[in-house]
Chains A and B, each alone.
Chain A
């Protein structure tokens, strides 16, 4: 059956299975990805079916995981690496930034780096420190990396395969608090380009831009605003590098207003980049300054405070009201 209703985690699992079946050079690597199937079970059953040689449990060393994946890519493999949690990626940050991102350019294009780094990211699951962060801007800032995040099961299934097929390194952020959200996946569909934004909800009064875990919040905010007679357009960005500014521009030219929403701290975040570029593109169409809703300039708080920290329906609606008040 081509169309199935799957939670995001299962859609990712099916996507990895398909990639392993399709291309013998694809490898899965990471901590606990084998017998356990990953701490979120995204790789569940894959080692059983594809063997320890293709689904590789690694030592607990993130730099080692990414560094050896680079070597395997140089040998012609296409490693898909799992970093167990967002806050654990930093031991590998050096390998990602100084090596993975630059290898293609340093070799004047003679070698390619088809490595995917999957990172479950974001908060909302009541976890301990270093398990709830949103470091996407730190990667999007680096030339040579592509950074994407699906928000639903269909994108999870298709975007991951597109990331694996890419000859560039892709940082693949998975919204961990949405892993259990179900959605339809058409495994025979023809997916759109990996880096094209998606209109999640059409509207005419104001544009909300979000990605990953915040798309659902924004769609709910649009529904709540509709009850008050406000028509909110929600764009699911899908890709933070590159960013599909054309789709945002088209929307803002229609609505005249833009609010960017993400979990990561607002300061130096992707909202700042979107605000700056859309202001350049739409200076004469904007009816209000571009507003941003996101995390504070503080460490991700302990679990009992995360509902205060994470942008929820009210904070998004407050920004919508502020924008419309101009």
Chain B
């Protein structure tokens, strides 16, 4: 892939010492782009893509509905219905583009923010809310949609994806695996180890890093001194940086990397260069650590707006389409709201369930003690 060599053509850093804080951090990234922020369709020599009008409208619909779901969840957190929410606002193109590149038999290992990828996998969005409401720690069967549980500990899932991909290769299957992680996770040892293992075993895995510029309050330059996609080169596989706010480019690049994995050519690192428009989670306040101007600059690159501009200019969607989508969005919002409010607290004894598959004497003993303790209140005549 030609993108690997772009760094070499960049001017070398001068010999004068530059402090880390002052060092420009990849200010002019080389991005694979198929749709400009102005909604202009552009060509790329390596990643051209040809989509039908239906497919283009489908991508737009996915992004709009995912954003609506995300907004509803954020509102539900503000209303006290969820304990926490990790918003994907601004990252819809990265998630829908990569998610729609997947085949049913591919397997996804997400972080805790991949609501758009979950949507592409057919996971009911209300299933994603259980852990944020505090009724479970995941709760869905990963094998139903080949979508693994959300992982809270940063970067752990990249190793699970690699191991799973090693298993796929052992099985002689031609499916692929995709691991999502962020720019902050790129600092974790597990991510580096997953690069090592996947390269050594030629595992059919795609590493999809959503560089949303901020790891809670820490900017990317606190994580790395080289553009993240260039990390791959040192591990012996290709890295590519894609415009993460361009759904077409994300789709094309991910599709290409997945095909490469299926052909037995091993891993690829994709860095989707994007921006988290909201907070890291509802617990932090981005106004404390980043400037308004930065957010405004990224608003101009909004992934949904640019596809809408293109659809309208190219005459691929009429007013009826947008109106009908607005209605669908509101229906989704209402469904999510009602589902969360109707979500029951788990049974008290759920504490003791599924700690072990084969059972454990101590868990059995403590469960029995807890049942007896609770029963004692009834005996007292309450």
Contacts and interface: CB of A to CB of B under 8 A. Distances in A.
A176 B143 CA distance: 39
A68 B141 contact: no
Q: Interface size class for chain B?
A: 35 or more
Contact of A71 (B165, B356, B362): B165
Nearest to B190: A63
B104 interface: no
A178 B168 CA distance: 38
A67 B141 contact: no
Contacts of B349: none
B143 A110 contact: yes
Nearest to B196: A59
Contacts of B164: 71-72, 74-75
Interface stretch (A32-40, A207-215, A229-237, A238-246): A238-246
A244 B361 contact: yes
B156 A71 contact: no
Interface string B323-364: 000000000000000000000000000000111111011110
Nearest to B139: A108
Interface residues of A, number: 47
Contacts of B153: 94, 98-99
B24 interface: no
A166 B360 CA distance: 12
Contacts of A71: 109, 159-167
B interface SS class = helix
B160 A99 contact: yes
Interface in A60-85: 61, 63-64, 66-77
Nearest to B163: A71
A160 to B, nearest CB: 16
Interface in A91-116: 91, 94-95, 98-99, 102-113
Interface of B: 109, 136-143, 148-149, 151, 153, 156, 158-168, 170-171, 189-190, 193-194, 196-197, 200, 353-358, 360-363
24 contacts: A59-B196, A64-B190, A68-B159, A68-B160, A68-B163, A71-B166, A72-B167, A74-B160, A75-B166, A94-B153, A99-B151, A99-B153, A104-B355, A106-B149, A107-B138, A107-B354, A108-B138, A108-B354, A109-B357, A110-B142, A111-B141, A113-B357, A143-B363, A144-B356
Given A68-B194, A71-B162, A99-B151, 10 more contacts: A64-B162, A64-B194, A67-B156, A67-B190, A68-B166, A69-B163, A71-B165, A105-B354, A146-B356, A242-B361
